[in-house]
Amino acid sequence: MEAAMVSAFSGAMGSLLAKLAGLLEKDFKLASSAKKDILFLRDEMRSINTSLMVLSEMDEPIDLPHRELRDKVRELAYDMEDCVDIYTHSANKAGFLYDLNTLGARYETAKLIKDLKARVEQLGNRHNLFVQLPERPRAVRVDPRIQALYTDAANLQGIDGPRQELVELLQDGAPQLKVVSIVGSGGIGKTTLVNQVYKAIQGRYDCTAFVSVSRAPNLIKILSDLLDRIGWYSSSQDDTEELISTLRDYLQDKRYLIVIDDIWTIEAWNIIRCCFIENNHGSRVITTTRTEGTAKECCSTLHDVYKIRPLNEVDSRRLFYRRIFQSEDACPEQLKSISSEILKKCGGLPLAILTIGGILATHQETCSMEIWEKMIHSFRFQLETSPALEWMRHVFDLGYNDLSLDLKTCMLYLGIFPEDCKILKDDLLRRWIAEGFITDRHSHCQEEIAESYYFELINRNMIQIAEYDDCGEVISVRVHDLVLEYIVLKSTEQNFITTINDKHRTKGSSEVRRLSLHVRNSENYNVLENMVLTQIRSFNLWGPAQWLPSLKKFRLLRVLHLDIFGSEDRQYDMSSVSSLFQLRYLRTRGILCRKLLQTQLQNLEQLQTLEVVSEQEYYDLDARMLPSTLRHLKIKAGVKLVGEIGRLRDLRTLCEFEILLRNGERMKELGELTNLRELKLYRCQSGGDKTCDVLLSSLCRLSSLRSLTIRGPTSLNRYPDFLARWSPPPRHLRRLHMVTCLFSTVPADFLSQLANLSSLEINVRSLQSDGVDVLARLTLLVHLTLHVESAPREGIVVICHAAFPNLREFLFRCEAPCLAFEARAMPTLRVLHIECYERGKRLSDGVLDGIEHLGSLHELKVDVFELKDFMSRFDEYFIMHSSAVVEEPNVEEHRRWERESLEAALKEAISKHPGSLRVVIQ
């Protein structure tokens, strides 16, 4: 395979070689001696790169002579590409070709090339140290069994016994607040165990929460997360004492269960513990930590310290075989002996077993004795004798060494992000592409290649799934703490990423290439003053704006990420962005960016991603100010995109775009963006039938759409069913959210063409008898939101046997909770959300009849509204014309009776469910 243009191992070598060839092809009218020197540089660096690729196949750690040579070549390639970029950019500027022909310009260019040649010659023949190694196959498909592995995690990791022990320890009937602490080494499965315990008993408590801490905890975020998880909405607070006080007040009369995962220090616990009030309601707190001293400090008594044990031999073997063969009985006889050796070295650590098992599972010849022997022979002696963290490093080395060069680079790039950060899939893939890590290959585009790398890292247990989206797809991942430590270590060794946080700074021995700041305080930002920033390719800031240096100090940025807090009301001079001619990715959050977006950005001819998150700004953004190279444009609804939007024909993502039905030309231009994959529309302002037709005509041209969301005021309800005339709709559409667009009834002909739909949100005036059957034909649905403006004539909505086989989440909004479920309906449904109003029981023939048939149901939420609050969610036009709006004379006692009657009917239905549901009625 062709190597990526940029990698952690060889730096910018691939990109440099292409640019040196370009220098020779373009007519820069350089002196003949300079051309000869460029030829020398190209040929010499090409030769070195060939040997460097062989060296990249050697297992880490590389011996000192090879490592020194690799580092020199890598830094030289970076510097050479920087010089080429600067001079070719200058040569392409208007009028510069004339200056270049002058004697002085020729002299400066020739001198630069001479200097670069001298640096190459200094390497001498040292690249002869490179050793030839056989090429290894790299193409591996994503393992389809990964989903099953996550589903069966509790059984596979043998935690039934520990889970039961902890449940008994927690559920001892004592009314006093009890804190139980789970202690064990990293990678032993503390979080997995506590999560299983949490799921087993959370239904017995009034409120629950599960939050994670880290080595450098952000206590403000942890306390805010606690408030959010227990269900208390709080405006942004940045005062620890105030957050603790709010938490104590809320928990005062609650029976609560709270998990504090991965506490590193006693100091952090001493602050967090202040939140937990003793109220004699039988509340419980569970903590996990890696040190026994911290565990003893956390728990109520020494008896409440639970030391997690490694997996025994039987459970280790079960986990190992299922990871590789999907069955504990499927291991070939000839591999059982050597598998025992591998498991002995893994020592019962689930993370180690999964890592090694993942490597073997992804080999094309899974049952090859040679491959298994190579695995066991590559273990280091220290794996058996070193402390746990060092031991795990060697396990990570095994996984890391088995990655392709491109995958190694993509994995190390995860060190850019802060600890405990949820890394969004789309954001990560776009960063990889912007950094030059991904190269088009054969018929696969960069996005497809990047996605395959992403899932392969999940597949190999290098990263962990954090969240799924409404379509059932992975939307974000996390990096395990130990894996992140390993990544930072490797990144420092290769001068790939320099990280600075409130306590630590990691930097290689060479110039900074990628800088990532994870800081909370506004002090010590002067450490950047002595740092050379001109050669930095990626600048990432999570922290106060004081840490943001002048953009004029940068010159060669490819990626600029600014996630700034505490500065929403301040304006920053971002105009210098327009001079960053290499910029490909720009994301800002937390600062006012009007000046940035009104800058002449169209000269940034390589910019592909522009995302600006700002809640407080309202202004027009002229599309003529943006480069035509943009692929992903994400702006908030208050920023109105105007001008010639049709010129942005490379756009794949557009969020959010304001619909102005009175502007037919604007609606027509939307249809020019035929490459769109994701589109979010907002504020459907009033217009006429003709402009609705123009909008519909534009949508009909967007045949590549995968996701369409229409939100905001429901003015489109004045034109019901206009979207039902969308023909043909995009055949690849997976998400369609359009509750702000009314349909008279479920549009059967329209929906029948959307066989790939996974997530649907729809609003209908009435639900006919066959309406649910039409929806049930969408067998791939994972998420469904159905708003019905008036109760069905039949009085009940029946979900039939075997309907909605893959549905996991269902939100039903109607006057009454008039749902009935037949046996084996919605077999995978986990979350059911009902919205109705107080007279719901009176309007319904049944209330959640057959809910006991929903065997997978985990959570039931019912929101009961007063009539005026319920109807306000529908369009005012239809409220005026709906018979359901006519409210009989209201007596408070009568309203109370209706609410209590409805709640009693709901509780009666819920009592029939055999499972332990998490129920919220409000």
Return all residues near 729 (Cβ < 8 A) that are at least 6 apart: 750, 753, 754
Assess whether pLDDT exceeds 90 at residue 586.
Answer: yes
Tokens 């979207």 correspond to what residue? 723
Contacts made by residues 898-907, CB under 8 angstroms, sequence distance 24+: 898/838, 898/839, 898/841, 898/842, 899/838, 899/864, 901/841, 901/842, 902/817, 902/836, 902/838, 902/839, 902/840, 902/841, 902/847, 902/864, 903/864, 905/841, 905/847, 906/817, 906/847, 906/848, 906/862
pLDDT score recorded for residue 98: 43
75 in the Ramachandran plot: left (φ > 0), alpha (ψ -120 to 50) or beta? alpha
For the full predicted model, state whether its pTM sits above 0.75. Answer: yes
Tell me the C-alpha distance between 587 and 582, whole Å.
15
Band (756; pLDDT cuts 50, 70, 90): very high
Give 595-612 pLDDT, tens digit per residue. Answer: 677 777 888 989 999 998
Q: What share of the chain is helix, strand, coil (3-state, %, to 5)?
A: 45, 20, 40
Give 805-852 pLDDT, tens digit per residue. Answer: 999 999 999 888 888 999 999 999 999 999 987 666 565 567 888 999
**CA–centroid distance for 342 within its chain:** 33
Assess whether pLDDT exceeds 70 at residue 569.
Answer: no
Return all residues near 385 (Cβ < 8 A) that are at least 6 apart: none
Percent of the chain with pLDDT over 70: 81
Assess whether pLDDT exceeds 60 at residue 189.
Answer: yes
Mean pLDDT of 422-434: 96
pLDDT score recorded for residue 493: 84
pLDDT score recorded for residue 222: 87
**CA–centroid distance for 79 within its chain:** 33
Burial of 354 (0-12, 13-18, 19+ CB in 10 A): buried
Assess whether pLDDT exceeds 60 at residue 494.
Answer: yes
Cβ–Cβ under 8 Å, residues 460 and 399: yes
Average pLDDT, the chain: 80
Per-residue CA distances from 324 to 143, 332, 372 (Å)? 10, 11, 12
Q: Length of the chain in residues, anyone? A: 922
Assess whether pLDDT exceeds 60 at residue 135.
Answer: no
Band (473; pLDDT cuts 50, 70, 90): very high
- Enter the tokens of residue 63: 């011996």
Instruction: Give φ, ψ of 786 to 5 degrees.
Output: -125, 115
Band (389; pLDDT cuts 50, 70, 90): very low
Give 226-261 pLDDT, tens digit per residue. Answer: 888 887 766 657 788 888 888 898 899 899 999 998
Band (154; pLDDT cuts 50, 70, 90): very low
Mean pLDDT of 124-129: 54
Which residues are 183's β-sheet partners?
289, 307
By mean pLDDT, which of 192-201, 676-685, 722-731, 847-856 is the weakest? 676-685
